[in-house]
Structure 1
Amino acid sequence: MGSLDRVDLDLLKALADDHRATVVALADRLGLSRNTVQARMARLERSGVFQSFERAMSPAALGLPIEAMVSVIVRQADIPRITAEIAEIPEVIQAHGLSGQIDLMVRVAARDTQHLFDVDARILSIEGVERTETSLVMGEVIGYRIRPILESVRREQ
């Protein structure tokens, strides 16, 4: 997508403030017509601005109170296959490809330490995975957020 204009940024900020806001509520808040907001939302969605409409849920509420970050080092040529195999492990919540010494950072959830050990063993058993290092998540200190970026971009315009 090209650059976002002030109306786009105001719309995104309103959504960051209230992610459950209806089109009518957004239109009222921004002083725009419902059709304008719907058209803008559709264009933003088509252009890939919105990453996911999946509702975030607590793994702990689902009986998986332990979260860990698993650093994975792999044979470079096998990354696409290894990533596909890691995606088949249900306890994997998220994974990122990285530059540097670590190839993949995999976020996992587990019932207890034995379950975490088993999940790590499943990752390590994938052909082409050379090494893993697991760190327990002690707590989230900064959750996912986009509002500060929106405010910064808005100020620059």
Structure 2
Amino acid sequence: MPDIDAANAKILSLLQEDGRMTNARLAEHLSMSETPCWRRLKRLEESGIIEGYQANLNRRKLGLGVMAFVQLSCSEHDQAATAEFQRIVEITPNILACHNTTGADDFLLVVVARDLDDYSRFIDTTLRQLPGVTSIRSNLSLKEMKSSSKLPVEISRS
């Protein structure tokens, strides 16, 4: 894995702000020529620090007005049930994130839906059908105060 020196940290921060930034513009911001900048970028991609590029979409403008944080408890924890649970979660577009957690519940999901009726259908047709689910608790977001996928980038201390 490449060290996160000041230049790499700047590349990562700039690309989190604008994933469409050209190599020429990155190099300009870093006050370096394009070839060394391109090499740094490729090393960051090849090491897996940069996993990909995507557009950030406005869920409300796409008609997804409900965001729910769902806590699930499961009775089945064997390898087959867990693999099937994970497969279903991965192919379900309404589930934005799923975390296996400590505490009273086994999983925390972030789910979006068009409205409460759509969310109710999602609970019945998807979440209640997951293998071994014994408890579903939802918390609906009333107001989104911060939403970001940008990670803090720090320079490595060697």
Fold shared, TM-score > 0.5 on shorter chain: yes
Q: Distance in 1 between matches of 2:51 and 2:107?
A: 20
Q: TM-score when scaled to structure 2? A: 0.83
Q: TM-score when scaled to structure 1? A: 0.84
Q: Shift of residue 49 of structure 1?
A: 0.9
> Which residue of the partner structure matches residue 103 of structure 1?
106
- One-letter code aligned to 1:133: R
Q: Distance in 1 between matches of 2:5 and 2:114?
A: 46
> Which residue of the partner structure matches residue 120 of structure 1?
123
1:154 counterpart = 2:155: yes
Q: Shift of residue 145 of structure 1?
A: 5.0
Look up the SS of the partner of 1:76 in the other structure: coil
Measured on the aligned residues, the alpha-carbon RMSD in Å equals 2.2
Q: Give the direction of change, closer, same or farther, for the CA distance of 1:8–1:155 in structure 2 (3 Å limit).
A: closer
Number of positions where the alignment pairs a residue of Structure 1 with one of Structure 2: 154
Q: Distance in 2 between matches of 1:126 and 1:15?
A: 37
- Describe the superposition over 1:62-109 as per-residue Cα deviations: whole angstroms up to 9, x where unpaired: 222111111112222222210211233332222222233322221111
Q: Shift of residue 19 of structure 1?
A: 3.4
> Which residue of the partner structure matches residue 51 of structure 2?
51
Q: Give the direction of change, closer, same or farther, for the CA distance of 1:86–1:145 in structure 2 (3 Å limit).
A: closer
**Structure 1 unaligned blocks of 5 or more:** none
8 Å CA contact 1:97, 1:105 repeated in 2: yes
8 Å CA contact 2:59, 2:65 repeated in 1: yes
- One-letter code aligned to 2:34: R
8 Å CA contact 1:69, 1:107 repeated in 2: yes
1:133 counterpart = 2:137: yes
> Which residue of the partner structure matches residue 64 of structure 1?
64
> Which residue of the partner structure matches residue 81 of structure 1?
84
- One-letter code aligned to 2:146: I
Q: Give the direction of change, closer, same or farther, for the CA distance of 1:128–1:136 in structure 2 (3 Å limit).
A: same
Q: Shift of residue 44 of structure 1?
A: 0.4
**Structure 2 unaligned blocks of 5 or more:** none
8 Å CA contact 2:84, 2:131 repeated in 1: no
